[in-house]
C-alpha cells in the first residue's frame, strides 16, 4: 500500500507531468486562459490517462513482451500500438460520453480530440514502460499523473485570469507571460522534489 | 525527390521558386512553430540542457516532419476520412520508430540520454499540425519543403535555447569547455583577472530555465515584429 | 466518402506494410543494438579503474573495449552471504532484476580486473537518487580497504546537478584512495559531505546543489559495499 501511495503522491506533486517534466505543454498553454475550460481539459486528461496507461501496460507486457502472446520481442511496434491505442481510446470515450451523457460531452467534447496529441498521455505510457511498473502501479500512476495535470492547469488558469488585469509589457503579453509563469511554477514545484512519501506510509 | 515532384506536377512549376523559398524561410521567424504557433514545446524544454542532444533532436524531428509530410501528401487522396487521424499517427509513429532504431545503433549514449523524448516526437504537435494544415491539401514536393522548413524552425529554436543554457549553465558548448573554474577551460575564472567574478548559473540547467529563455526569445521577437503581439 | 470495406482494407494494408518494414529494420539493427548495449556496460565497468587501463576507455573503439574486457577480467558471482556461486558469470547478473528478489536470494556480480601490477575488485552497487535509481561500480584494491576508483550512472538525475555524479571527473577522482575501514578496523564506508571534508580518508566533498543525490550516493555506498565485505573477508584469509 505504501508503494502505491508513494507512486500516487509522487506522480501528482514531485514528478508532476507538467511542472516537473514539462509534458503536455501545448494544450496546457493553449487551454489555460480561463478556469472553466481548464477544468474541462483537466478532467478529460485524468479520464484518458487512467484508461490508457493500464491498457498500454497490457499491450506492452502481454502482447509485445518476450513472454507475451507471440513469444518474441516486438518492442519495435511499441510506439505505433501505443499511439493507436490512445487515439482509439479517445475516440471510443468520445462516442460513449456523447451517447450516455450529453451534458458531460458538451463540457469535455471539444477537448477530447486535443488529448490524442497531448505529450502527457504518450509520456505517461512511455514512463510506465521505462519504470517497469506492474499493472496496479501503472493504473495508480496513470490516475496520479492525470490528477497532477488537472491541478497544474487549474493553477495556471487561475493565475492567468488574474494577470489579465496587470500591466504586462506589450510583446510579453499572452504567450510570453504564460511561459514565464509556467517556469516560475516549475521552480516552485521543485521545492517538493526529493520528498519520499513512501517513507511515511510503511 | 526531384523526380516525384516533376511527375506529380504536370503543369510547369518552378522546382524552387519564390513560393518554395517562402515555405522554407517563413517558419524560421514569422511563423515559427514554437514561438508563434505554440506547438511542440514539451520536447523543447527537456532536451535543451545541452547542445548536442538538442541538435540530434532537431535533426530527428526535421526528418520525421519532412517525410511524414511527404508520405501523407502522396497518400492524401486515398486516405479514408473517418480514420484520417489514425493513419497520420501510424505514419508518424512508423518514422519515429525508424529514427529511434537507427539512433540506438548509431549513437547509444545519446539514445540513452534522450530516452522517452524521441518517442514523444510522435505527439509533437508540430508534426500533426503540419500534416493537417498543409500536407493534406498540397502537392508532395511542397509538403516536403514545408516539413523541412518547420523542422528547421523548430530546430533553430531548440539550438538557440540549448546554446544559452549550456553556455551559462555549464560554461561549455557541445562539450567543449569555454568558461569555468577548472584549468581545462578556455577562460579559467580562477586565474583570469577579467572573469574572476564569473560564476556558473545553476538555474540554467534546470528544465524551468528553458521556459525563461524561450520567454526572452518571444519578447525580443515580438518587440521587433509588432504584428505578432497578442492583444487579448 | 469511402466505404467501410475500403477503410478496413486500407488500414490492414497500411499496418501490414509498416509492421514488415519495421520488423526488417529491427532485426537488421538488433545485433548492433546488442553490441552497443554490451559495450556501454563494459565501458562503464572498466572506467572505474580507468587510470590502470592500458587503453583510453573514453576513446577506445568497440573492439578494443571488448577485447580488453575479455582478456583481463575474471567474473565471479556471490550470494547474499558472500559465498561464491559456482559456474555463474557476473555478466548474467542484472542488478535491476536482483533488486526485485527478497534480500536473501539476491546475487551480486564481481569483476576481478587483472591489472599490470595488481588485482582490482570491481563491484556493483545500486541505490536511489533524487528522481530515480542510481548505480555505480566501485574498484577496490586488493587490500580490500582502499578504493581505486569509481564510476556512477543514473536514470534521470538533474543535468548539471545530480547528474554530475556521472559527468564530473573531479567528483569521481575524489574517491580514489578513500578507505572503507577506520584505524580501529571498523567499517565506516565513505560519505559525501557538504561544506568541507573533515575526515579525508572517509569523506568526499558534495556537488553543489545536489544534496539528495549526494545522500543517495552515501547510502548506496554504505549499504552496497557492506554486502561484499564477507566475500572480501574470505579472501583475506
Chain A residue numbers with beta carbons less than 8 Å from the beta carbon of B232 are 173-174
Rounded to a whole number, what is the distance in angstroms from the first to the last CA of chain C?
84
Helix (H) or strand (E) holding C191, with range, is: strand C191-193
Helix B84-106 vs helix C4-46: angle between axes, to the nearest 10 degrees? Answer: 20
The answer to whether A16 and C131 have CB atoms below 8 angstroms apart is no
Instruction: Domain count for chain C, please give it.
Output: 1
Do the domain assignments include residue C135? yes
The mean predicted confidence, pLDDT, of chain B is 80
**Higher pLDDT among residues A202 and C206, named by residue:** C206
Phi, psi dihedral angles at B136 (to 5 degrees): -70, -15
Give the Cα separation of B41 and B65 in Å (integer).
Answer: 15
C12 touches chain B (CB under 8 A): no
Give the Cα separation of C94 and C222 in Å (integer).
Answer: 20
**pLDDT computed for residue B15 by the predictor:** 64
Comparing CA positions, the residue from A153, A158, A97, A74 lying closest to residue A120 is: A153
Full domain range(s) for residue C203: 74-236
Mean pLDDT computed over B107-132: 83
Comparing CA positions, the residue from C117, C120, C104 lying closest to residue C235 is: C120
Residues forming a β-bridge with C203: C191
Give the Cα separation of B166 and B18 in Å (integer).
Answer: 37
pTM score of the predicted model: 0.83
Burial class (CB in 10 A: 0-12, 13-18, 19+), A41: buried
Contact between A176 and B222 using a beta-carbon 8 Å cutoff = yes
Do the domain assignments include residue C114? yes
Give the Cα separation of A18 and A123 in Å (integer).
Answer: 11
Give the CA distances from residue B18 to residues A62, B13, B14, B24, C29, in Å, rounded to whole numbers and listed in that order.
53, 11, 9, 10, 41
The answer to whether A115 and A44 have CB atoms below 8 angstroms apart is yes
Comparing CA positions, the residue from C139, C100, C157, C111 lying closest to residue C225 is: C139
- One-letter-per-residue 3-state SS of B135-197: HCCCCHHHHHHHHHHHHHHHHHHHHHHHHHHHHHHHCEECCEECEECCCCCCEECCCCCCCCC
What secondary structure letter does DSSP report for C49? G
Full domain range(s) for residue B21: 16-163
Give the Cα separation of A11 and A15 in Å (integer).
Answer: 5
pLDDT band at A143 (very low <50, low <70, confident <90, very high): very high
**pLDDT computed for residue B8 by the predictor:** 43
Chain A residue numbers with beta carbons less than 8 Å from the beta carbon of C25 are 76
Torsion of CA B7, B11, B12, B15, to 10 degrees: -40
Report pLDDT digits (tens) over B199-226. Answer: 777 788 888 888 898 888 888 888 887 7
Chain Cα centroid distance, residue C181? 23
**pLDDT computed for residue B12 by the predictor:** 52
Question: Exposure pattern of C155-172 as b/e (b: 16+ CB <10 Å)?
Answer: ebbbbbbbbbbbebeebb
pLDDT band at C235 (very low <50, low <70, confident <90, very high): confident
* Residue A145 distance to chain B (closest CA, Å): 16
Give the Cα separation of C136 and C134 in Å (integer).
Answer: 7
The answer to whether C121 and C231 have CB atoms below 8 angstroms apart is no
Do the domain assignments include residue A68? yes
**pLDDT computed for residue B153 by the predictor:** 86
Burial class (CB in 10 A: 0-12, 13-18, 19+), A3: middle
* Residue A46 distance to chain C (closest CA, Å): 23
**pLDDT computed for residue B5 by the predictor:** 42
Contact between A194 and C25 using a beta-carbon 8 Å cutoff = no
- One-letter-per-residue 3-state SS of chain A: CHHHHHHHHHHHHHCCCCCCCCCCHHHHHHCCCCHHHHHHHHHHHHHHHHHHHHHHHHHHHHHHCCCCCCCCCCHHHHHHHHHHHHHHHHHHHHHHHHHHCHHHHHHHHHHHHHHHCCHHHHHHHHHHHHCCCCHHHHHHHHHHHHHHHHHHHHHHHHHHHHHCCCCCCHHHCCHHHHHHHHHHHHHHHHCCCCCCHHHHHC
Which B residues in the span 61-120 are in contact with A, Cβ-Cβ below 8 Å?
A: 85-86, 89-90, 92-94, 96-97, 100-101, 115-116, 119-120
Give the Cα separation of C113 and C55 in Å (integer).
Answer: 14
Give the Cα separation of C12 and C18 in Å (integer).
Answer: 10
**pLDDT computed for residue A55 by the predictor:** 93
Do the domain assignments include residue C136? yes
Contact between A193 and C132 using a beta-carbon 8 Å cutoff = no
Mean pLDDT computed over A29-48: 85
The answer to whether B51 and B163 have CB atoms below 8 angstroms apart is yes
Mean pLDDT computed over A141-159: 94
* Residue B18 distance to chain A (closest CA, Å): 30
Helix (H) or strand (E) holding C203, with range, is: strand C203-205
Do the domain assignments include residue B154? yes
Do the domain assignments include residue B25? yes
Instruction: Domain count for chain B, please give it.
Output: 1
pLDDT band at B94 (very low <50, low <70, confident <90, very high): very high
**Higher pLDDT among residues B183 and A127, named by residue:** A127
Please report which residue ranges of chain C form alpha helices under DSSP H: 4-46, 62-72, 95-98, 164-167, 169-173, 211-236
Mean pLDDT computed over C95-99: 81
Residue C58's SS3 state is coil
B80 touches chain C (CB under 8 A): yes
**Higher pLDDT among residues B79 and C58, named by residue:** B79
Phi, psi dihedral angles at A150 (to 5 degrees): -55, -50
Full domain range(s) for residue A112: 2-194
Instruction: Count CB-CB contacts under 10 A for residue C192.
Output: 24
Report pLDDT digits (tens) over B26-51. Answer: 777 777 777 776 677 776 677 787 88
Report pLDDT digits (tens) over B141-161. Answer: 889 998 998 888 888 888 989
pLDDT band at B82 (very low <50, low <70, confident <90, very high): confident
Instruction: Count CB-CB contacts under 10 A for residue C83.
Output: 12
Instruction: Domain count for chain A, please give it.
Output: 1
Helix B51-75 vs helix B84-106: angle between axes, to the nearest 10 degrees? Answer: 140
Chain C residue numbers with beta carbons less than 8 Å from the beta carbon of A77 are 19, 22
Chain B residue numbers with beta carbons less than 8 Å from the beta carbon of C209 are 202
The answer to whether C138 and C125 have CB atoms below 8 angstroms apart is yes
The mean predicted confidence, pLDDT, of chain C is 84
Query: Given the DSSP bridges, would you call strands C191-193 and C147-154 parallel, antiparallel or unpaired?
Result: unpaired
Task: Name the E strands within C57-165.
Answer: 73-79, 107-114, 119-128, 133-141, 147-154
pLDDT at C44 over 70: yes
Helix A175-190 vs helix A135-163: angle between axes, to the nearest 10 degrees? Answer: 130
Do the domain assignments include residue B175? no
Q: How many CA atoms lie within 13 A of C190 on its CB side?
A: 27
Contact between B86 and C22 using a beta-carbon 8 Å cutoff = no
Question: Exposure pattern of C118-131 as b/e (b: 16+ CB <10 Å)?
Answer: eebbbbbbbbbbbb
* Residue C148 distance to chain A (closest CA, Å): 30
Chain C residue numbers with beta carbons less than 8 Å from the beta carbon of A131 are 132
Amino acid at each position: 500500500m505504501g508503494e502505491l501511495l508513494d507512486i500516487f503522491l509522487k506522480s501528482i506533486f514531485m514528478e508532476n507531468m507538467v511542472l516537473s517534466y514539462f509534458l503536455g505543454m501545448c494544450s496546457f498553454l493553449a487551454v489555460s486562459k480561463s478556469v472553466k475550460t481548464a477544468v474541462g481539459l483537466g478532467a478529460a486528461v485524468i479520464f484518458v490517462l487512467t484508461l490508457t496507461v493500464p491498457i498500454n501496460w497490457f499491450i506492452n507486457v502481454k502482447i509485445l513482451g518476450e513472454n507475451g502472446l507471440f513469444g518474441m520481442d516486438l518492442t519495435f511496434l511499441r510506439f505505433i500500438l501505443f499511439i493507436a491505442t490512445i487515439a482509439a481510446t479517445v475516440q471510443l470515450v468520445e462516442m460513449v460520453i456523447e451517447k450516455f451523457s450529453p451534458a458531460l460531452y458538451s463540457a469535455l467534447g471539444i477537448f477530447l480530440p486535443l488529448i490524442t496529441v497531448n505529450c502527457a498521455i504518450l509520456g505517461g505510457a512511455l514512463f510506465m514502460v521505462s519504470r517497469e511498473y506492474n499493472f496496479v502501479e501503472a493504473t495508480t500512476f496513470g490516475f496520479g499523473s492525470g490528477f497532477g495535470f488537472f491541478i497544474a492547469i487549474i493553477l495556471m488558469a487561475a493565475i492567468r485570469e488574474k494577470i489579465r488585469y496587470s500591466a504586462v509589457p506589450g510583446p510579453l503579453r499572452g504567450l510570453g507571460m504564460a511561459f514565464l509563469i509556467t517556469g516560475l511554477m516549475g521552480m516552485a514545484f521543485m521545492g517538493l522534489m526529493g520528498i519520499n512519501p513512501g517513507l511515511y506510509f510503511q | 525527390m526531384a523526380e516525384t515532384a516533376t511527375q506529380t506536377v504536370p503543369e510547369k512549376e518552378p522546382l524552387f521558386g519564390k513560393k518554395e523559398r517562402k515555405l522554407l524561410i517563413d517558419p524560421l521567424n514569422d511563423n515559427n512553430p514554437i514561438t508563434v504557433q505554440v506547438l511542440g514545446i514539451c520536447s523543447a524544454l527537456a532536451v535543451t540542457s545541452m547542445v548536442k542532444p538538442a541538435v540530434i533532436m532537431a535533426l530527428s524531428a526535421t526528418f520525421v516532419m519532412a517525410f511524414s509530410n511527404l508520405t501523407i501528401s502522396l497518400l492524401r487522396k486515398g486516405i479514408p476520412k473517418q480514420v484520417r487521424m489514425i493513419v497520420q499517427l501510424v505514419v508518424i509513429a512508423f518514422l519515429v520508430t525508424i529514427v529511434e532504431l537507427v539512433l540506438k545503433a548509431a549513437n547509444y549514449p545519446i539514445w540513452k540520454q534522450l530516452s522517452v523524448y524521441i518517442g514523444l516526437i510522435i505527439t509533437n504537435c508540430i508534426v500533426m499540425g503540419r500534416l493537417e494544415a498543409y500536407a493534406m491539401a498540397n502537392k508532395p514536393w511542397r509538403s516536403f519543403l514545408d516539413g523541412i522548413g518547420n523542422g528547421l524552425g523548430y530546430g533553430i529554436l531548440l539550438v538557440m535555447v540549448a546554446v544559452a543554457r549550456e553556455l551559462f549553465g555549464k560554461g561549455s558548448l557541445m562539450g567543449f569547455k569555454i568558461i569555468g573554474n577548472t584549468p581545462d577551460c578556455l577562460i579559467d575564472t580562477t586565474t583570469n583577472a577579467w572573469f574572476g567574478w564569473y560564476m556558473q548559473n545553476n538555474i540554467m540547467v534546470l528544465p524551468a530555465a528553458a521556459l525563461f529563455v524561450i520567454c526572452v526569445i518571444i519578447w525580443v521577437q515580438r518587440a521587433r515584429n509588432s504584428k505578432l503581439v497578442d492583444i487579448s | 466518402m469511402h466505404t467501410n470495406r475500403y477503410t478496413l482494407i486500407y488500414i490492414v494494408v497500411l499496418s501490414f506494410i509498416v509492421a514488415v518494414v519495421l520488423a526488417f529494420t529491427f532485426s537488421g539493427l538488433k545485433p548492433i543494438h546488442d553490441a552497443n548495449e554490451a559495450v556501454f556496460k563494459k565501458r562503464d565497468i572498466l572506467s572505474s579503474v580507468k587510470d590502470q587501463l592500458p587503453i583510453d576507455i573514453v576513446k577506445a573503439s568497440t573492439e578494443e573495449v571488448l577485447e580488453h574486457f575479455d582478456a583481463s577480467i575474471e567474473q565471479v558471482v556471490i550470494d547474499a552471504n558472500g559465498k561464491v556461486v559456482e559456474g555463474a558469470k557476473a555478466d548474467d547478473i542484472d542488478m535491476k532484476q536482483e533488486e526485485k528478489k527478497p534480500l536473501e536470494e539476491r546475487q551480486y556480480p564481481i569483476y576481478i580486473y587483472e591489472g599490470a601490477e595488481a588485482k582490482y575488485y570491481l563491484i556493483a552497487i545500486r541505490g536511489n537518487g533524487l528522481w530515480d535509481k542510481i548505480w555505480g561500480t566501485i574498484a577496490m584494491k586488493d587490500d580490500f580497504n582502499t578504493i581505486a576508483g569509481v564510476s556512477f550512472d543514473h536514470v534521470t538525475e538533474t543535468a548539471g546537478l545530480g547528474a554530475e555524479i556521472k559527468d564530473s571527473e573531479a567528483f569521481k577522482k575524489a574517491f580514489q584512495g578513500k578507505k572503507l575501514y577506520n584505524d580501529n578496523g571498523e567499517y565506516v564506508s565513505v560519505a559525501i559531505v557538504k561544506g568541507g571534508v573533515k575526515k579525508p580518508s572517509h569523506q568526499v566533498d558534495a556537488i553543489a546543489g545536489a544534496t539528495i543525490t549526494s545522500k543517495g550516493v552515501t547510502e548506496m555506498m554504505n549499504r552496497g559495499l557492506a554486502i561484499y565485505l564477507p566475500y572480501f573477508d574470505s579472501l583475506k584469509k
